[in-house]
Amino acid sequence: MARLLKDKSINLCVANLPNADNFQIHLFAAISQKEREFISIRTKVAMQISKEKFGTKFGNPKIDELNKERKRKARVFRSGVSPIVLPLRNKGMTYEQIATTLNDMGMTTTRGNTFHAMQVKRIVDRELDPIGGEVK
């Protein structure tokens, strides 16, 4: 905020304080920033107390189910694409060349989009190391 207020090419005006000078704007900005930090601390403390006293769980209670289904769909999709991708990669084709080949074949990603090099790289990486240490 201080940098903005020092910039002579910017004329900063606050709707709630139309007559405020740069010092007042800077002061209110600093106070607001500090209040933001206090709110964060109070929220974290309240959540921790709620967890300890009442066993409250925050977040989506179905997230594990949703992630399992999403990962299952990804595995199914990968199992259909990897028999094409891995042999091409083993022949020395780049990820970009493989993506172009998949697109030329009319294949699409799970969301119906065209393939890009990074998506092919991720397919190869996950097939070679699907769990993070376990080689398939």
* Same domain (yes/no): 70, 117: yes
The pTM of the full predicted model, rounded to 2 decimals, is 0.51
User: What is the token pair recorded at 83?
Assistant: 């028999």
Q: What is the pLDDT of residue 132?
A: 52
The reported pLDDT for the residue numbered 45 is 97
In whole angstroms, what is the distance from residue 81 CA to residue 86 CA? 9
Query: Do residue 78 and residue 121 come from a single domain?
Result: yes
Same domain, 33 and 81: no
Residue 50 sits in the same domain as residue 84: no
Domain that includes residue 23, residue range: 2-54
CA distances from 134 to 29, 73, 128, 129, 130 (A): 51, 20, 8, 6, 7
Residues whose CB falls within 8 Å of the CB of residue 75, separated by 6 or more in sequence, listed in order:
130
Residues 48 and 72 in one domain: no
Question: Are 38 and 79 found together in one domain?
Answer: no
Q: Which residue ranges of the chain lie beneath pLDDT 50?
A: 133-136
Q: CB of 27 within 8 A of CB of 6?
A: no
Considering the domain architecture, whether residues 69 and 23 belong to the same structural domain is answered as no
- The domain total for the chain is 2
